[in-house]
A and B are shown apart, each in its own frame.
Chain A
Amino acid sequence: MRVSRPVWLLSAAVLIFAGLTLAGLLRPARAATAPTEIKIGTLYASSGTFAVASQGQYQGLQYWAAAINKGGGVFVKAFNKKIPVKVIAYDDQSSTTTATTLYNQLITQDKVDVLIADFGSVLTSVAIPLAAEHHMLLIDPTGSGANFFTQKTDYLADVSIPTSAVWPVPLGKFILEQKIARVAILYDSNDFDVSQAETLKAALAAGGVTPVYYNGVPTTESNYSVLLHTIAAQNPDAVIELGYAPNDIAFLRDLASSGLHFKMTFTIFPGQLISLITKNVGAKALAYTYTYPTPPLVRFDSVTLGVNTDTFVKDFTATTKAAPNFLNAAGYNNGVIVQQMLATAPAFTQLDFHQALMDMSGKTRTLLGDFKINENGAQLGELLPVAQIVPDGDGTKFVVVYPQDKATGKAVYPAPQP
């Protein structure tokens, strides 16, 4: 059969086009060019309510970045090479308004590859919607407000502290185990403390205990004398104060000068910033109070990622000439989690980063404990035990009293009169 010329030409064109298209489809995707540095964006507060904690966390991240860059940078699986990291950090002065602007700058102007939030729930709260809007994974070191983690997300991962919805679970169990029936709960009105108060209330209710006092105060509260008197009028055996470090200092000082005494007193931040609290409150006022002890007060010898707690303490002290606190450890932990995330994510995208974290969940242990996040981004590992601060010479020491498998001693309950 004879084929006319136009038909022949048309058939050839179709074949060539199909061939080229097929070749294009089958050819491996061209790898994106590797960046010269991995930009890690974060905020810190040089002043304001969260300055002390925020700077500690930032210092820990800087320590990790310096250490990793000494070895040539972080291994990035997507590019199959080591790339130096650059930390881009701005000062939000503990202001959520300033933080909002600066998070936006990190995402849209600096175009950072990894976004890490500032310390705590207050300064993290403004980053969460921004990160989601820009499809950026937010590495959330210490923002643990339970309402951050109410729905499935690919853009949030709480890495260095358990969600505050689970913090008080051991505390609640300890109170029930001690058969303490009259409990007063005073909490700051912010995400971090409200969610803890609600969880503790629910945990106690499960054991048949209803708090005799349950009230919130402004986060800026600095005078607890009248509040303590009001609480004492309810005759509680245990008084649980859930606040930030400045609140704990004011609360413990006012308690010491009030002449009041409770069988059990609990505050959060002695377990994280013991030197700061002791400096302001004194060892005597801390005696026999309870707290959540955090690494490095609680040590993890066997880890699968980064260095263990003892090595971290030794190396950090040698490098910075100061012993690390929990926030330093949390900052370092952010770094090692990001490091592993980059080392395992098959592609350099935010969704792959998130999937890498999900794949690490439940199989990873760092100096803060077991890393375990759920699909909402909440950290369910790294659980904090309950410890009592007991006199030790002129100072104090921590005795873990709950849970039993981590206990290093028995609780002195009721606390002796000063």
Chain B
Amino acid sequence: MSLLEYALIGGILYGIFFALVAVGLNLIFGVMRIINIAHGQFVLLGGYGAFLLTSRAHLNPLYGVPLAVLGAIVVGVPLFRAVVPRLQKSSNPEMLSFILFFGIAQMIDAVLIMVFGADQRSLPQDALGAGSITVFGQSFPDSWWVASAASLLVLAGLYLYFNRTRLGFATRAIMASRDEALATGIDVERVSMISFVIGLALAGTAGVFVPYLLGSISPDIGNELTTTSFAVIIIGSLGNPLGTGIGGLVFGIGTLVMQTFFPSWSNLVPYALLVLIVLVRPAGLLGKSVRVT
């Protein structure tokens, strides 16, 4: 029983964190219908930003969060202006975005290898706390709790943004119907650009905590982060950022329970769940209907 409790609590913490890892991808898809296949690489950029802050400036990695937001603005605005409007004018923006962002992912990988090498990089072990916190008799390192708490805060902020701000209402309107949003006078391009930047900032913020939950960062893990993020958002609901929270929890608990009792099969969990959800509930756990194009 203790093992199951440990896996459940660990799964919740792990899942909340993976909701943060994936939510930016879902936001960008939900608003712009473009597939940011370079999502994992943007997560990595956040991790490497935190690495630079700790190794060069000797700052706490948490300063990587504002750096990720700043980086998302600096990178996101020109990138959006350069590619997204053109993609949306095309006949098949989803497929074209897939190809385009694949190229961007390769470029980011190459730049990371040139700058940092292929080595694994870690952040100081005790920067987020050197002890552990016990809940229901189950102890987890401080870094897990900090990462989960930060993820919850960011997700709560995103919820408030959607439900309490004009910009959030406009974003939801575009997610529901881009044409109707245009018809009602919403500046779709501006709102889309803000959503794109928020999506990248969320990815970068998650990256700050990746070395604590996945041991280290290296240029080769970007694609894996992207595929795991896809699994999480499809389990939750593709195009519904808040469904990502549920997707993350299902993924986290499923993975760690499996790791406890059948460790050899643990990496099958996200993809088995993905296949199951697509077959049984194609819109995802929180989805209302299947989008028809």
Contacts and interface: CB of A to CB of B under 8 A. Distances in A.
Contacts of A216: 263-264
Contacts of A126: none
B3 A223 contact: no
B113 A276 contact: no
Contacts of B215: 222-224, 246, 249-251, 253-254, 280
23 contacts: A46-B118, A47-B113, A51-B218, A186-B263, A222-B221, A223-B213, A223-B215, A224-B215, A225-B10, A225-B140, A225-B141, A225-B144, A227-B259, A230-B3, A246-B216, A246-B218, A250-B215, A253-B215, A254-B215, A258-B132, A280-B121, A282-B125, A285-B125
A258 B131 CA distance: 8
Interface string A229-258: 110010000000000011001110110111
Given A49-B220, A223-B14, A226-B6, A257 B143 contact: yes
Interface of B: 2-3, 6-7, 10, 14, 109, 113, 117-122, 125, 131-132, 139-144, 213-216, 218-221, 224, 256, 259-260, 263-264, 266-267
**Ordered nearest first, which 10 A-B pairs have the shortest CB separation?**
A250-B215, A51-B118, A257-B141, A218-B267, A222-B214, A280-B122, A48-B220, A216-B264, A215-B263, A226-B256
B106 to A, nearest CB: 10
A52 interface: yes
Of B113, B122, B144, chain A has the most CB atoms within 10 Å of the CB of B122
Of A222, A225, A276, chain B has the most CB atoms within 10 Å of the CB of A225
Given A47-B109, A217-B259, A225-B10, 10 more contacts: A46-B118, A48-B118, A51-B220, A52-B118, A217-B266, A221-B266, A222-B215, A223-B259, A226-B259, A251-B215
Contacts of B113: 46-47, 51
Nearest to A216: B264
Nearest to A55: B118
A361 interface: no
B92 to A, nearest CB: 27
A47 B216 contact: no
B66 to A, nearest CB: 25
Nearest to B220: A48
Interface in A182-241: 186, 189, 215-218, 220-227, 229-230, 233
A49 B121 CA distance: 13
A220 B218 CA distance: 13
A253 B125 contact: yes
Contacts of B119: 52, 276, 279
Given A94-B220, A217-B266, A220-B267, A259 B132 contact: yes
A1 B287 CA distance: 113
A94 B224 CA distance: 14
A281 interface: yes
Nearest to B221: A222
Nearest to A219: B267
B4 to A, nearest CB: 10
A230 B132 contact: no
Contact of A230 (B122, B142, B216, B260): B260
Contact of A226 (B122, B220, B260, B264): B260
A253 B216 CA distance: 9
A93 to B, nearest CB: 8
Interface string A258-269: 110000000000
A46 B267 CA distance: 25
Nearest to B6: A229
B269 to A, nearest CB: 11
A282 B215 CA distance: 13
Contact of A276 (B120, B132, B140, B213): B120
B219 A47 contact: yes
Contacts of A251: 215
A49 B109 CA distance: 13
Given A216-B264, A218-B266, A227-B259, A245 B120 contact: yes
B7 A281 contact: no
A227 B262 CA distance: 10
B17 to A, nearest CB: 10
A251 B216 CA distance: 11
Nearest to A275: B119
A226 B109 contact: no
A287 B57 CA distance: 28
Contacts of B7: 226
Contacts of A47: 109, 113, 118, 219-220
A285 B215 CA distance: 13
Given A216-B263, A218-B264, A250-B216, A280 B6 contact: no
Contacts of A222: 214-216, 221
A385 B141 CA distance: 34
Contact of A280 (B120, B139, B220): B120
A254 B212 CA distance: 9
Contacts of A45: 118
A249 B122 contact: yes
Nearest to A93: B220
A277 B141 CA distance: 21
Nearest to A253: B215
A102 B143 CA distance: 42
Contact of A250 (B121, B140, B214): B214
Contacts of B122: 249, 253, 279-281
Contacts of B141: 225, 254, 257-259
